[in-house]
Structure 1
Amino acid sequence: MMNVLSTLITPEKGGKQPVYLQIANQLMALIKNGTLQSGYRLLSTRQLASILKVHRRTVVQAYDELLAQGWLESQTGNGTFVARNLPDLRPLPLLVETATDRDPLKKAGFQFQKPPHLDRAVLKAGSRLHLDDGFPDPRLAPLEDLSRAYRSQLLHGNPYARLGYGETGGTTWLRQELSAHLNETRGLKTSPANILIVRGMIMGMYLAVTSLVKPGDCVVTDSPGWFGASMNFVQAGANICHVPVDEHGMDIDALEDICLKQPVRMVYVTSHHQYPTTVALRPDRRIKLLKLAEKFGFVIFEDDYDYDFHYLSKPLLPLFGADQAGMVLYCGSFTKTISPAFRIGYLVGPEDVIAHLSSLRRIIDRQGDTMLENAIAELLQTGVIQRHLRKSVRVYKQRRDLFCELLKHELPDHISFEIPDGGMAVWARFDPDIDIARLAERAAQRDLYFANGKVAGYPAQFRNYIRLGFASSDPGELEESVKIMKNLL
């Protein structure tokens, strides 16, 4: 056994892990796989130290570690043994069909399902140039102000209260400031009790769908629409009905036809800048949608992902502000205001629903980032975010105008589009003969990213449509990006 241990236990001196822990872990592995059986008498610390060519104190530390964990037991005057209360761990012979080694860190030993709706690529920043889905430019974000506010939250005040557990629904300060901000800018009449702070719009949607939609319920969404919303509905076991979108937004007459045929539990709508087309829901359709919700009793989930960025006139007010029957849940975030890295969003609704969703949120996320939430509250209170929004709207409007001019003059035979009234992206139709996936692949080789059209899951008639974001690129980057596309085409 002495010769065997000299080959099975091979500590690496000078490694990142202390030698005694290496010895302890390797002994533990020998016990787990049955090489060292329950009740086996180990070598003395002096003998093992001599074999491994380490100091005896190192082996003593290793034995002490395993004694403390219960893998070994010591008998005074008799030596150290593998614990006798361990189950029989005899090595099992490998079956023929499982003879190949399997890495448990890469492949689980148990079965689990991988639903196809979760098989979706995760977008990550990487390319130097990007015509993305419509993201903000973090270079414009008030990062110094946010850094100072965050530091202030870390250092000042009662540390037990400041750094301990907080409210599940979000900090009181942020909900107060956000309520005032939404009431002033969007015509709402909320109180802090109407607001649940979440980690972005997608979390708000997940909570609402998980809580309010049951398997088999009918959920209506627009087509083309946002694949992320559909993923939530499929995950909840809902039956999804699609209604078309035209130049005035969701076809509410088509929605009414569905309501007359079957019960509808929820309608998902991006009423301000419809995703992906960017068109706004016309006022008469807004009124009819609210009336249908009251008549047929369905929930309206209003996703207002980039309300503040409207260039033609004043933004249209949210459906939530005109809701007299308590049928609307309104969701937005600071993702487009500051940057996707700052996960602060908000779900607005009737007090009883918000209290219920706060309870649900607790089982997946005890609370949000108290420091960040209060830092954002400070920026709202001092007007930093409001000034940042005014500046960003001016900059993004200039970039929209430049980008649309570039597309019009440089790619007139390849791309058609309508200039969006708001938002951060252009809904572009490529010539049917262009393979967008191949074009995106070639562009990536030149350090330019744009969507390949496959991930979005648009219906067949929108096969050659993609969103081209302009907000996150400065004028020089927009010109370079369009030039690369022109050369490739």
Structure 2
Amino acid sequence: MSSPVLDLISSFVFIDRTSIQPIYLQVAQQVINAVQRGYLLVGAKLPGTRALSEALQVHRKTVIAIYNELDAQGWVEVMPNKGTFIVNQSHQMKIDKPYQKLVSLAKYPDRTGFLFRQSPVLDNPFESSDCRLIFNDGQPDIRLTQMQHLSRCYSASMKRKHNLRRLTRYQAEGSEYFRSQLSNYLNFSRGLHISKSNLLITRSVEMSLYIISQILLSKGDHVLVGDLSMFSANMVFQKMGARVLTVPVDERGMDIDYIRTHFNPGQVRMVYLTSHHHYPTTVTLSAQRRIALLQLAQEYGFVIVEDDYDYDFQYEQTAVMPLASGDVDGMVVYIGSFGKSLAPAFRTGFVVAPDNLIAEMRKYLSIIDQQGDVIMEQALAEMIAEGEIHRHLKKSLKIYRERRNLFCEILDTCFSDIVTFEKPSGGLALWTTWDKSLSLFQLANLCRNQELFIPKNILYQNSTLSAMRLGFGHLNENEIEEALMVLRRGVEKIS
């Protein structure tokens, strides 16, 4: 005749006979969990070895091994001629009564049993889809990445003894060799005048912004951003408790005169902008406004955070230098992503700032990323030193320019009645303004049924605006033509 304890154990024990973990350990762990959760009370007598072996359909020696394991860990006490009993291991845990509802011990709790702060500000704005064709906000084509060369550099770095020794040490400041090569690269390509001491190596632009916000922002500080602006940056600022205010953006970029006429000295803590290609509209901050912003920062005392998220993708002969290249008062913190043209796993973020700020930022980086990625940084440094990054970017730019031109040609030919746009001088996306009578969200739903995914984060539609930021870089020529034809058919269905 079965006992209540035997029936209880039989109800919650699950044995995975395909697992590499021994059966006796599987059962022992589940019995321990049952004691911890109050299903098996302290003092309860466990079934005999024969009865339990029959109930679980395992060998009696397996049950003996289960009980030996429980005894070794201090969860049971074997009393000669009486049996095996559950004991209180800590002698502090007191369970007055078992839980009334038995929950599967193989399932982890769905919710915490305690309260914690939740942040709707940090809700993930990105969507995913299995559609064959996808528009994004302007990402590179990882198919163009020279994976063989990258993997060769990475493999060679792994084999070097001096690199292996570095893996055992904390490298919060990043690879010295990489910082030297990257500073040289930025000086050459972007007109900066920095040394390796002016660089902080991070995992991403978002990590860079988070550390900057931790140091430079306090609750209630005013942060000015463009209208519209980079949503991920706004999330970081709002999470810090800053008050995010918008500044108009026109065909010449952020309106600097608006800042002067609407704010007083000391009232603004930070101005965040994407000066090279404003996100999402892709316009470039004019030379006159660049000078005006640098002067205003020095006069008003605010920090300029310049996010140069796609500087590498410039299609015209004349390159526009970043604000940081003309900063002589130490008012600009320059951030970017090195290796944007490579696969995401090979990219890294960086911050350029005066020495004293970089030294403080390293303290925060050492908390959240103490080790860094020494091997990856070494591989990237070698690609800079060998000129491979420059050669790869030169080849990629030619392809991206052709894709931009094709994308614009098709829009001119097939969408001229409902779409207006300016051909961007760089970047991997177009800012397209649509006929306000069209519902862009309805259009996106129709296209999804035709294997074209248009995520919500690239749609901008309200009472005054109807626009889409359409990335073209990740699509080859055939994919561009097919995606835009699906988009056109969708327009015809809802018109």
Over residues 55-111 of structure 1, what are the superposed CA-to-partner deviations in whole Å (9 max), with x where a residue is unaligned?
Answer: 2332233234334444334568876432332522233566xxx99999863222223
Q: Is the 8 A contact 2:277 2:426 kept in 1?
A: yes
Tell me what 1:370 maps to.
374
Separation in structure 1 between the aligned mates of residue 344 and residue 166 of structure 2, nearest angstrom = 25
Letter of the 1:357 counterpart: M
Q: Is the 8 A contact 1:153 1:162 kept in 2?
A: no
Tell me what 1:470 maps to.
472
Q: Which moved more, 1:117-126 or 1:442-451?
A: 117-126
Separation in structure 2 between the aligned mates of residue 449 and residue 368 of structure 1, nearest angstrom = 35
Deviation at 1:462, TM superposition (A): 5.7
1:234 aligns with 2:238: yes
Deviation at 1:335, TM superposition (A): 5.5
Separation in structure 2 between the aligned mates of residue 225 and residue 459 of structure 1, nearest angstrom = 15
Separation in structure 2 between the aligned mates of residue 172 and residue 203 of structure 1, nearest angstrom = 20
Match of 1:442 among 442, 446, 454: 446
Task: Indicate the SS of the match to 2:249.
Answer: strand
Separation in structure 2 between the aligned mates of residue 142 and residue 149 of structure 1, nearest angstrom = 11
Task: Indicate the SS of the match to 1:260.
Answer: coil
Separation in structure 1 between the aligned mates of residue 429 and residue 397 of structure 2, nearest angstrom = 13
Tell me what 2:330 maps to.
326
Tell me, which stretches of 5 or more residues in structure 1 are unaligned? Answer: none
Separation in structure 2 between the aligned mates of residue 394 and residue 457 of structure 1, nearest angstrom = 28
Q: Is the 8 A contact 2:253 2:278 kept in 1?
A: yes
Q: Which moved more, 1:359-368 or 1:179-188?
A: 359-368
Over residues 198-248 of structure 1, what are the superposed CA-to-partner deviations in whole Å (9 max), with x where a residue is unaligned?
Answer: 111111111101221000111111101111111111101011121000000
Over residues 306-359 of structure 1, what are the superposed CA-to-partner deviations in whole Å (9 max), with x where a residue is unaligned?
Answer: 001111232211111111111111111136321334341111111111111111
Tell me what 1:87 maps to.
93
Deviation at 1:18, TM superposition (A): 3.0
Tell me what 2:151 maps to.
147
1:195 aligns with 2:199: yes
Separation in structure 1 between the aligned mates of residue 170 and residue 220 of structure 2, nearest angstrom = 36
1:215 aligns with 2:219: yes
Task: Indicate the SS of the match to 1:31.
Answer: helix
Letter of the 1:298 counterpart: F
Residue 53 to residue 126, structure 1, CA distance change in 2 (3 Å): closer
1:414 aligns with 2:418: yes
Deviation at 1:382, TM superposition (A): 1.2
Q: Which moved more, 1:264-273 or 1:77-86?
A: 77-86
1:118 aligns with 2:147: no
Separation in structure 1 between the aligned mates of residue 65 and residue 165 of structure 2, nearest angstrom = 40
Letter of the 1:14 counterpart: R
Tell me what 2:4 maps to.
4
Tell me what 1:267 maps to.
271
Aligned-pair identity in percent equals 39
Tell me what 2:167 maps to.
163
Task: Indicate the SS of the match to 1:181.
Answer: helix
Q: Is the 8 A contact 2:137 2:458 kept in 1?
A: no
Q: Is the 8 A contact 2:142 2:343 kept in 1?
A: yes
Match of 1:380 among 378, 381, 384: 384
Tell me, which stretches of 5 or more residues in structure 2 are unaligned? Answer: none
Residue 167 to residue 99, structure 1, CA distance change in 2 (3 Å): closer
Letter of the 2:422 counterpart: E
Over residues 432-487 of structure 1, what are the superposed CA-to-partner deviations in whole Å (9 max), with x where a residue is unaligned?
Answer: 011111111111221212333xx368584663111011111111111111111111
1:431 aligns with 2:435: yes
Q: Is the 8 A contact 2:420 2:432 kept in 1?
A: yes
Letter of the 1:287 counterpart: I
Tell me what 2:29 maps to.
25
Match of 2:63 among 54, 59, 64: 59
Letter of the 2:342 counterpart: I
- What count of residue pairs does the alignment treat as equivalent? 484
1:14 aligns with 2:20: no
Separation in structure 1 between the aligned mates of residue 116 and residue 465 of structure 2, nearest angstrom = 33
Residue 173 to residue 38, structure 1, CA distance change in 2 (3 Å): same
Task: Indicate the SS of the match to 1:267.
Answer: strand
Separation in structure 2 between the aligned mates of residue 181 and residue 51 of structure 1, nearest angstrom = 70
Q: Is the 8 A contact 2:275 2:307 kept in 1?
A: yes
Deviation at 1:393, TM superposition (A): 1.2
Separation in structure 2 between the aligned mates of residue 282 and residue 13 of structure 1, nearest angstrom = 66
Over residues 102-146 of structure 1, what are the superposed CA-to-partner deviations in whole Å (9 max), with x where a residue is unaligned?
Answer: 986322222334333223432447432223100001111121111
Deviation at 1:159, TM superposition (A): 6.4
Separation in structure 2 between the aligned mates of residue 108 and residue 359 of structure 1, nearest angstrom = 32
Q: Which moved more, 1:113-122 or 1:457-466?
A: 457-466
1:277 aligns with 2:285: no
Over residues 259-316 of structure 1, what are the superposed CA-to-partner deviations in whole Å (9 max), with x where a residue is unaligned?
Answer: 3276111110111111111111111111111111111211110000000111123221
